[in-house]
Structure 1
Amino acid sequence: MPAITKPVWAHTWFANIWPIVAAIMFATFVAFGSGPADHTDVAPVVTASAFVYLGAAALQRRVAAWPMFFVSVIVITIGFLVPGIGPSWSSWAMVGVSGVLLGYGLIRGALRPLWGAPLQAAALAVFAAAAIAAVHVDATWAGLLVGAGLLAHTAWDINHHRTERVVASSMALFCAVLDTFLAVVVLAVTLA
């Protein structure tokens, strides 16, 4: 099988700049759209960060990360707009959808490589548990938990961007900037 090469435009500065700019714009909206964001506002993003990776791994398509991101935005938006369900519901909904995607992926052979669906499923369990716990604990601990979760996922993003595994490089870069930006905001609000 011939090696897959990137198109010429992918080697330009544009391929690395647009995800950064988009992430800063989106993170600014999330962090300051209705006042400074706190742990409750951002907790579902911790789950979403792992949800996107698991979805792409289960579908065995790196570019599937972008549609998965848009699904997570819709789920989180529903969690905030529908009275009575809240951010914890958003995390649980993404976990449920992930279970279906993981089942589909395993049927289609996504058990290999181990850094694909199996590792991403384990990561989702950890990140979702942190996000769900953050909604139910003291505000200071919750803010620290969400901030730490986002920073941990930043490291995850950087590793996946470097190795070019699981998600599109543009998504890994976008997510690294988004996670870092939101972590700083949440930790600043928590520690202020």
Structure 2
Amino acid sequence: MAGIAVPDRRPLARRVLERWPAVAGAGVAVLSASTGDGAAPVLVAAGFVYLGAAALRRRTAAWPLFWASFVLIAAARFVPGLDAVWSLLAVAAVLAVAGLLGGAARPVTGLPVQAAALLVVGAAAVAAASASPQVAALLVAAGLFGHAGWDLWHHRTGRVVSRSLAEFCGVLDALLAVLVLWVTFG
């Protein structure tokens, strides 16, 4: 009986718990959007986490790197002169050099591709800092939508980061992009 949908009879709470990365990503997106300037650092953090996991050659490093980026973004709110975007890019550069010295240049789909992706999203975030609010919103939202696609590809292939991180980041990126556009142009 192909083609007949069977209703999911599991309790709602269990189904939500199984999708915890998506639920958490939505929550972080809403919190980031509510801060007003939280989207550009989140965009760079997304690239940072992937680059770091590739540099360390450990998919399991993605969640600790996420928490490190979270702490750095939070610290930038309280430490005068500390810029979250530039700090994340600086730490990413250190991780990239360490990864190259440690032999992470192969496979090419690892560190080299992740470094290129971080350059693209980092450039968008840096350009947004000096642009008008409308242009900045478009740059950051485009970067977030692009990274959401990146997350989807990594979730499907199981490469570079854990699937739970890719799911979390995909929901975070896509929803935050929508919220940035809505707050700016809505």
Please tell me the TM-score bracket, short chain as reference: 0.7 to 0.9
Q: Distance in 1 between matches of 2:140 and 2:20?
A: 26
Q: Distance in 2 between matches of 1:16 and 1:50?
A: 25
Q: Distance in 2 between matches of 1:125 and 1:15?
A: 34
Runs of 5+ consecutive residues of structure 2 not aligned to the other structure: 1-13
Runs of 5+ consecutive residues of structure 1 not aligned to the other structure: 1-11
Post-superposition offset of 1:149: 0.6
Q: Distance in 2 between matches of 1:105 and 1:71?
A: 18
The structure with the largest alpha-carbon Rg is 2
Post-superposition offset of 1:13: 6.0
Q: Distance in 1 between matches of 2:80 and 2:104?
A: 37
Q: Does 1:124 align with 2:121?
A: no
- Aligned to 1:113, the other structure's residue is in SS state coil
Superimposed CA distance per residue, residues 78-131 of structure 1 (whole angstroms, 9 cap, x where no aligned partner): 22222344xxx2111111111111111112210111010000011111111111
Identical counterparts, % of pairs? 49
**When the two structures are superposed, what TM-score results if normalisation uses the length of structure 2?**
0.87
User: 1:27 — aligned with what?
Assistant: 29
- Aligned to 1:20, the other structure's residue is in SS state helix
Q: Distance in 2 between matches of 1:92 and 1:73?
A: 14
Change (3 A) 1:60 1:13: farther
Post-superposition offset of 1:15: 7.9
Post-superposition offset of 1:31: 2.1
Moved more, 55-64 or 41-50: 41-50
Q: CA RMSD in A?
A: 1.7
- Aligned to 1:109, the other structure's residue is in SS state coil
Match runs of 1:161-180 below 5 Å? 161-180=155-174
Conserved? CA contact 1:51–1:124, under 8 Å: yes
